[in-house]
Amino acid sequence: MGLSEAAPTLEEIRQRIDQLDAELLRLVDERAGLAKLVAAAKRAAGDGGKFGLRPAREAQLLRRLLETPRQGASAALTVRLWRELISDSLSQQGPFHLTVWGGAETPRTVELARQRFGDAPPLRLAAKPEDALAAAKTPGGVAILALDGASAWWGRLLAEPSLTVFATLPCLSARGPTSALAVAEIAVEPSGDDDTFWITDAPGSPASIEEALGQDGVAASLEMQYGGLKLFRLAGFYQREDERLARAPGRLSGIIGAAARPFDL
């Protein structure tokens, strides 16, 4: 039953909300049940032990939802709701847990982790970046690490090819610049609007490295530097074997992952 064409009474509005709440619960319950069917289908296909995290697919889904005309639901509300639904579904398909190293900004990093991955997965704190990265190697493990000027933990990923950066936090541009990265043992895929993270030990200034990359058609910006290492964000999705990066400055260099760009709400 919808609202009457005349201005509805408060009681009519409340009745309609109750009806919608019941329908929403039915649909959410059905969706949650489908997550169990997905897990069963994966086991039947021999993929039962494979981590179901698909960040590119999630980003594409959220973009479609945000492009769908809405009358009352804000973009921020839409993202929050579906983040929770996606994470709950993922947690029902197998192991899924978060480990956070926040450096000097631990409360902020924990908040961003929950905004990105919802309340479904258990979360624990790591005393050191190494501990968070080790946890990411366990089944269903995701490490969220702050981009802290006191640590170059990201440089370790050059020697850990199984670990990949797959998300930036915050996931909404309105919540500020990137302050943490999410890492897991998954294969990243292009979502259609991505940034790639690349490290080099080139001794030149960041500006000179950006210029050299730009001459080869690669748009880059410095994300962080520590000691002799520099972390750059490259506009677009790059494969590890890209010839342009092979020609880039530096003897020790490499891609450590890619992530969908934060949603601009």
| Other CB atoms within 10 Å distance of the CB of residue 67 | 8
29-74 tens-digit pLDDT? 999 898 888 888 888 877 767 888 999 999 999 999 999 999 999 9
Residue 252 has pLDDT above 70, yes or no: yes
Q: CA 137 to CA 51: how far, in whole Å? A: 11
The closest alpha carbon to 98, from 39, 167, 36, 198, belongs to 167
Q: How far apart are CA 37 and CA 51, in angstroms?
A: 15
User: Which tens digit of pLDDT belongs to each residue from 129-156?
Assistant: 999 999 999 999 999 999 998 899 999 9
Nearest residue to 94 (alpha-carbon basis) of 42, 54, 129: 42
pLDDT at residue 234, rounded to an integer: 98
At 5 the pLDDT is 65
* pLDDT given for residue 4 in this prediction: 54
- The residues, any chain, with a CB within 8 Å of residue 127's CB and separated by 6 or more, are 101
Classify residue 171 as exposed, middle or buried by CB count within 10 Å of its CB (0-12, 13-18, 19+): buried
The DSSP secondary-structure symbol of 142 reads E
Amino acid found at 99: T
